[in-house]
Amino acid sequence: MKTVLSSLLLLLLPVVASAQETAAEIEALLRKTDDVARGDSSIATMEMHVKTASYERTMKMKAWAQGTDRTLVRILEPAKDAGIATLKVDENLWNYLPKVDRTMKIPSGMMGGSWMGSHFTNDDLVQESRLSEDFTWTVDARPSGGEGQWTIALVPKPEAPVVWGKVVVEIRADELPIRTTYYDEKGKVVRTMAFEDYAAMDGRTVPRVMRLTPADKPGEFTEMRYVELDFGADIPTSTFTLQALK
């Protein structure tokens, strides 16, 4: 009997090891998607173009990031918005408005609110929720022989602070993101994030453009373009303080 059980266990071991290897592989892919334009630390200069039914505008901004826990984003242009800044430290988020010299803490209930009139939310900007941590996943498609793409469907964990009913991520065979589609709890598409213009920046190939399109507003979009990107930058921790926010 022991011999039979031992033989069965030996047969099952490769299956268990394969499942563990697959889980690690998918989690690594999702982390890369979460952090496609950020390393252990990074400094980025970006341009954001917003087009809605009532207005169209372009902003230039600079962002400092240290891991996933600290992010500072400051608007550089246009002049009327220059100095407006958003700071994330751990799970806390603040906005600074220079015209009234006021710092406001953003409650967790407003993480889904629009950032600076764009289609990006406060959560998008500072990546409070993460595909690799807040969702369970299933693999619908995977590349073979360097061809094709990954298609991964994700459902939020019960305790995760996520508003989506489902998220579907498409990733190239070389592990660069193609598209992320967000669904509501009824399975209806809410918005799509497309990654474009892949190029080398500071030694890494990244999509230089992220284009967010709402499903219920034809013709509207927000496009974020990376102008400069410095990975592994030495950023003092004092950068991520309320004093530095001003």
pLDDT at 132: 84
The neighbouring-strand residues paired with 70 are: 66, 89
pLDDT at 147: 86
| pLDDT above 90 coverage of the chain, percent | 57
The 3-state secondary structure of 3-72 reads HHHHHHHHHHHHHHHHHHHHHHHHHHHHHHHHCCCCCCEEEEEEEEEEECCCCEEEEEEEEEEECCCEEE
Of the pLDDT bands very low, low, confident and very high (cuts 50, 70, 90), residue 11 is low
pLDDT at 10 over 70: no
Token pair of 172 as six digits: 């190239």
CA-based nearest residue to 96, from 83, 109, 108: 83
| pLDDT above 70 coverage of the chain, percent | 89
pLDDT at 159: 83
Of the pLDDT bands very low, low, confident and very high (cuts 50, 70, 90), residue 33 is confident
CA 180/CA 153 separation, integer angstroms: 10
Residue type, 180: T
Which tens digits make up the pLDDT trace of 157-210?
Answer: 988 878 899 999 999 999 999 999 999 999 999 999 999 999 999 989 999 999
Give the single-character DSSP code of 244: H
pLDDT at 3: 56
pLDDT at 119: 92
CB 163 within 8 A of CB 182: no
What φ, ψ does residue 170 adopt, rounded to 5°?
-115, 130
CB 96 within 8 A of CB 84: yes
CB 160 within 8 A of CB 134: yes
Which residues make Cβ contacts (< 8 Å) with residue 11, sequence separation at least 6? none
Higher pLDDT, 17 or 205: 205
CB 47 within 8 A of CB 225: yes
Q: Please give the CATH architecture assigned to the domain spanning 22-245.
A: Clam (2.50)
pLDDT at 131 over 50: yes
Which tens digits make up the pLDDT trace of 82-129?
Answer: 999 999 898 788 999 999 999 999 887 777 788 888 998 877 766 667
Can you spell out the DSSP letters for 110-152?
GTTSBSTTSS-BHHHHHT-S-HHHHEEEEEEE--BTTBSEEEE
Of the pLDDT bands very low, low, confident and very high (cuts 50, 70, 90), residue 19 is very low
Q: Residue 162 burial (CB < 10 Å; 0-12/13-18/19+)?
A: buried
What φ, ψ does residue 17 adopt, rounded to 5°?
-65, -40
Helix or strand run (H / E) with residue 165: none
Does pTM surpass 0.85?
no
